[in-house]
Amino acid sequence: MEREKTVSSHNSIAASLSDYLKALPLYLLPQHFLSRLMYRLTRCPLRLWKEWQIRWFIQHYGVDMTEARESDQTRYEDFNQFFTRELREGVRPIAESPDALICPVDGAVSQVGSVDGGTMIQAKGRHYTLQALLANDDALADVFHGGSFINLYLSPRDYHRIHMPLSGKLTRMCYEPGRLFAVNPHTARVVPELFARNERVINLFETEAGPMALIMVGAIFVGGMETFWAGPITPRTSRREPQTWTYEGSAVVLQKGEEIGRFNMGSTVILLFGPNAVQWTGDLQTGTGVRMGEAIGMIFKRR
């Protein structure tokens, strides 16, 4: 299938002076304060305020409201309810092949490939380590060493709910505090180990393809990340410290395509699989547009 190019392949070119100039203010801004402020502003129910926000956003980003379950923009209680809107049933069909690995989100491919030597590509000339991404958990990093990864970038106009790429059982969830740099192509080219430095939620599953990590990466103005089994994980109202929840023997079993969480404002999802578990489809490359439910790979081994 011919995939749409929704963003330019900026991650495949070297960083420029312009990239550094655009990223520099992010080091100076109070990232968490601004994100908490955005959290409040996007949940303000005042009618004139929220309707102006929604109307401006739809026009500026070209949001297709015909796909939404609630297409009347005035019926949303606040901007965040609009931003995390549900889609109409059938708008994102799930790939039918039982061996298909489906895309968990709407967005675009940032990078895709293999975990070579414990590192992954962030952008041309920049890499980040598997160990740092997984909060320096050596045992967990060993599980995915030599495996496969894909980074999926969600732009503001995209659908912001996250779904299961494969059927599986939740085993662990980890919150790792960090910075809140933007995750656009400019910052990916200039901020070292961007995805391993930002705040993130690491969700670990046992699937029919073996272990899978689905990592929700926070960014500036991402006013919250949440999962359906734990509710809101960020923003943290108390001190930001690492936290782990274990679900051994739990009943959190999810089918392919089921909703698992959402971004309250946009960011990035990273998928990790172990060695010889999945094979990405050949047409995936930096900048390739993807939609939730379509096949982005195939399972090598069934369990």
Domain assignment of residue 169, yes or no: yes
Q: Which domain holds residue 270?
A: 100-299
List of residues 6+ apart from 51 with CB closer than 8 A:
73, 74
pLDDT at 209: 94
Q: Which of 10, 160, 163, 186 is catalytic?
A: 163
Six token digits for residue 279: 């094979």
Domain assignment of residue 21, yes or no: no
Closest by Cα among 29, 32, 33, 22 to 191: 22
Domain assignment of residue 86, yes or no: no
pLDDT at 13: 59
Domain assignment of residue 225, yes or no: yes
Q: Could you give the CA distance from residue 243 to residue 173 in angstroms, rounded to a whole number?
A: 8
β 210-217/161-163 pair status: unpaired
Domain assignment of residue 221, yes or no: yes
283 as an active site residue: the answer is no
Site of tokens 């899978």: 212
Backbone angles phi, psi at 188, to 5 degrees: -60, -30
Domain assignment of residue 43, yes or no: no
Domain assignment of residue 82, yes or no: no
238 as an active site residue: the answer is no
DSSP string, 31-67: HHHHHHHHHHHTT---HHHHHHHHHHHHHHHT--GGG
Asked if residue 264 lies in contact with residue 226, where contact means CB atoms within 8 angstroms, the answer is yes
106 as an active site residue: the answer is yes
β-bridge mates for residue 107, sequence order: 290
Q: Which of 10, 106, 110, 148 is catalytic?
A: 106
pLDDT at 9: 47
Residue 183, helix vs strand vs coil: coil
pLDDT at 245: 93
β-bridge mates for residue 273, sequence order: 148, 212
Q: Is 2 exposed, middle or buried (0-12, 13-18, 19+ CB in 10 A)?
A: exposed
pLDDT at 303: 52
Q: Is 69 exposed, middle or buried (0-12, 13-18, 19+ CB in 10 A)?
A: exposed
Closest by Cα among 63, 52, 56, 44 to 106: 63
Site of tokens 């089921």: 258
Closest by Cα among 137, 155, 164 to 254: 164
Site of tokens 């739809």: 58
Rg (CA), the chain: 18
- Count of CB atoms situated within 10 Å of the CB of 8: 12
Q: Could you give the CA distance from residue 171 to residue 168 in angstroms, rounded to a whole number?
A: 9
Asked if residue 69 lies in contact with residue 259, where contact means CB atoms within 8 angstroms, the answer is no
Domain assignment of residue 247, yes or no: yes
Q: Is 119 exposed, middle or buried (0-12, 13-18, 19+ CB in 10 A)?
A: middle
How many separate domains does the chain show? 1
Instruction: Provide the whole-model pTM.
Output: 0.90
Asked if residue 141 lies in contact with residue 131, where contact means CB atoms within 8 angstroms, the answer is yes
DSSP string, 116-160: BTTEEEEETTEEEEHHHHTTT-HHHHHHHTT-EEEEEEPPTTS--
pLDDT tens for the chain, 303 residues long, are: 446 554 444 455 556 767 666 667 777 778 888 888 888 889 999 999 999 999 999 999 999 999 999 999 999 999 999 999 999 999 999 999 999 999 999 999 989 999 988 888 877 667 889 999 999 999 999 999 999 999 999 988 899 999 999 999 999 999 999 988 888 777 777 788 888 999 999 999 999 999 999 999 988 877 689 999 998 888 776 667 899 999 977 678 999 999 999 988 778 999 999 999 999 998 898 889 999 999 999 998 655
